Structure 1
Amino acid sequence: MIQTLSLMGYSLSFEIMTLVKFFLILIFGYISVRTIKTVLKRGVKKSKIPELVSEFVIHLISSLLYVLVLLLAVGVFGIETGPIILGLSASIGLILGFGFQDTLTNLTSGIWIAVMRPLDKDEVVQVGGITGKVVELGIMATKLLTPDNVVITIPNKLVWGSPITNYTRMDLRRVDVAVGVSYSGSVQDAISSAMELILSHNLVLKDPTPAVIVTELGNSSVNLQLRAWTKTEDYWKLKSELTRGIYEKYKKEGIEIPFPQMDVHIHKY
């Protein structure tokens, strides 16, 4: 049985079986691509390929395979797919020529990110002033999850073109805690007390050696900095506990932590 379909002024005649073949190719093609993706994912898990790189490559390959399936399905109607491919290529060229070079730039940047690996999945990074955990590297954009559970999507060209601070790439991090002490007190006693606090904490590593140094002679205080090394996953916990601990220890030992004050004199005329 032959059916005629009119669409946008064009008539296309086809048999019911042709339509069935069209949908079968789409269904089996979709299932095949999904199967290939699953096999690729299992394969890369056994390899040493970084997860972020493998996800990018699998995403790119699956997108190309979906396009191939669609072209095969359209081909059952007797439509020449060669001209379609040429038409798509020409369209892409025109789009790029009329100011949409960002698409190609984002794609190229994504490839460089995947190859050079300045960041990886589950790492905490700062890109363009935005801090978050890497949750996905796509063909066009990278997704970060911020500490307050907000997903931010950044075009890959901005990721690759910006300084990238990676907070979790290294196994160890140094915790810096600043504190000021009064000019009228003993700086050496303040340093010794701070060192005692650092060395007594179980999250502080003995190597590299921790230290307490004088960083500045401020307007109202001698400024010190506690420097202690710890495992990266313990960074925020140690920073919080040292900050609270130095305040409580100085208060207990009578070491003054000054704060800026202003004297206002009122003259009556």
Structure 2
Amino acid sequence: MEIADILTETTIPLSGITLEKVLLAVIIAIIGWIAVKVLISLFKKTLSHSSRLPELVVEFLVRFFSVLLYVILVLVVLAALGVDVSSVVLGLSAVIGLILGFGLQDTITNLAAGVWVAALRPIDKGEFVEVNGISGTVTGVGIMATELLKPDNTYITIPNSLVWGSPVINSSRMDTRRVDVSVGIAYDSDLDLALRVAQDLMESHAAVLSSPQPAVVVTELADSSVNLALRAWTRTGDYWGVKGDLTSGILLAFREAGVEIPFPQVDVHLDGTN
């Protein structure tokens, strides 16, 4: 018996699928997988070079296109095995119907929200944002979820519906940010001197912008201190460096100027009666 006859006549038990079909399906799967990779790469390059779409939108479209191509490849492989693809499609439709019927519409909701997030861009790749109390750098928006990388290198995925339906604090979108540093001085300290020292500290910092002009304001007459706020504008990329410099710098500057930063105090009065 020749090899061709073996392939066409030998079947997999309980399936009726011949070895010829299996071999053909494997070849189609390998070639298809390579073709899908090439098409995805070409699609990404085309979007990146021939359009003005933001990187986040390009990445979302590429992911969506990838899923579509892999689904088509699976259907083609099943067809090569002799499976009735139309029944598979009907089965998938029935599954989707059951999912929706059981009230699990989160998949569709997240997909739609992902489209809106990618199109309207309340966030963008590389930006530092806070969503529902979670802060991190946006690494991508997928079909179902948005990906954040926290400062401690923790990887977070947030459902797209939550991103679209929650207030988003975007710390990177604007070119400049205001740095706020709070500090308290004792009630018997020289307030005018403290204001001058704080103002000089901000104006002497190379990364603090001259416009808008930095300012020092009294924010509160607290129980143990007069609270001041140093408000200085800087470029967004310099924000944390300036905040750290001003926080440590005001401590040293007040010490050198003789301005006291008090500890919290509580006065306890004891009466002499039993």
TM-score, normalised to structure 2, is 0.91
Following TM superposition, by how much is the alpha carbon of 1:171 offset from its aligned partner in structure 2, in angstroms?
Answer: 0.9
Q: 2:24 touches 2:80 (CA, 8 Å); kept in 1?
A: yes
Code of the residue aligned with 1:201 in structure 2: it is H
Aligned-partner Cα distance in 1 for 2:122–2:20: 52
More displaced 10-residue stretch of structure 1: 16-25 or 195-204: 16-25
Following TM superposition, by how much is the alpha carbon of 1:129 offset from its aligned partner in structure 2, in angstroms?
Answer: 0.4
Residue 6 (str. 1) matches residue 13 (str. 2):
yes
Aligned-partner Cα distance in 1 for 2:79–2:132: 46
Residue 62 (str. 1) matches residue 66 (str. 2):
yes
The root-mean-square deviation of aligned C-alpha atoms, in Å, is: 1.7
Aligned-partner Cα distance in 1 for 2:120–2:83: 42
TM-superposition CA deviations, 1:177-198 (whole Å, max 9, x none): 1111222222222111111111
Following TM superposition, by how much is the alpha carbon of 1:163 offset from its aligned partner in structure 2, in angstroms?
Answer: 0.8
Aligned to 2:222: 218
Code of the residue aligned with 2:77 in structure 1: it is A
Following TM superposition, by how much is the alpha carbon of 1:62 offset from its aligned partner in structure 2, in angstroms?
Answer: 0.9
TM-superposition CA deviations, 1:218-268 (whole Å, max 9, x none): 222221111111111110010010011111111101011222112446678
Following TM superposition, by how much is the alpha carbon of 1:31 offset from its aligned partner in structure 2, in angstroms?
Answer: 0.7
Residue 36 (str. 1) matches residue 39 (str. 2):
yes
Residue 113 (str. 1) matches residue 120 (str. 2):
no
Q: 2:17 touches 2:82 (CA, 8 Å); kept in 1?
A: no
Following TM superposition, by how much is the alpha carbon of 1:134 offset from its aligned partner in structure 2, in angstroms?
Answer: 1.0
Instruction: Trace 1:181-196 onto structure 2 (pairs within 5 A).
Output: 181-196=185-200
Following TM superposition, by how much is the alpha carbon of 1:17 offset from its aligned partner in structure 2, in angstroms?
Answer: 3.0
Instruction: Trace 1:185-264 onto structure 2 (pairs within 5 A).
Output: 185-264=189-268
TM-superposition CA deviations, 1:141-197 (whole Å, max 9, x none): 112111111111111111111111011111111000111122222222211111111
Code of the residue aligned with 2:252 in structure 1: it is E
Residue 101 (str. 1) matches residue 105 (str. 2):
yes
Identity percentage over the alignment? 50
Q: 1:2 touches 1:13 (CA, 8 Å); kept in 2?
A: no
More displaced 10-residue stretch of structure 1: 38-47 or 144-153: 38-47
Aligned-partner Cα distance in 2 for 1:92–1:148: 38
Aligned-partner Cα distance in 2 for 1:122–1:3: 56
Q: 1:37 touches 1:58 (CA, 8 Å); kept in 2?
A: yes
Q: Write 1 or 2 for the structure with the bigger share of strand.
A: 1
Aligned-partner Cα distance in 2 for 1:94–1:215: 58
Code of the residue aligned with 1:17 in structure 2: it is E
Code of the residue aligned with 2:192 in structure 1: it is Q
Q: 1:106 touches 1:156 (CA, 8 Å); kept in 2?
A: yes
Aligned-partner Cα distance in 1 for 2:271–2:113: 66
Following TM superposition, by how much is the alpha carbon of 1:67 offset from its aligned partner in structure 2, in angstroms?
Answer: 0.8
Code of the residue aligned with 1:135 in structure 2: it is T
TM-superposition CA deviations, 1:86-106 (whole Å, max 9, x none): 221121111221132111111
Aligned to 2:139: 135
Aligned to 2:21: 18
Aligned to 2:5: none
Aligned-partner Cα distance in 1 for 2:247–2:265: 22
Aligned with 2:16: secondary structure? strand
Code of the residue aligned with 1:30 in structure 2: it is W
Following TM superposition, by how much is the alpha carbon of 1:19 offset from its aligned partner in structure 2, in angstroms?
Answer: 2.1
Aligned with 1:194: secondary structure? helix
Code of the residue aligned with 1:19 in structure 2: it is V
Aligned structure 1 segments of 4 or more residues deviating by more than 6 angstroms: 266-269
Structure 1 counterpart of 2:178, from 168, 174, 198: 174
Aligned to 1:82: 86
TM-score, normalised to structure 1, is 0.93
Aligned to 2:161: 157
Aligned-partner Cα distance in 2 for 1:183–1:19: 86
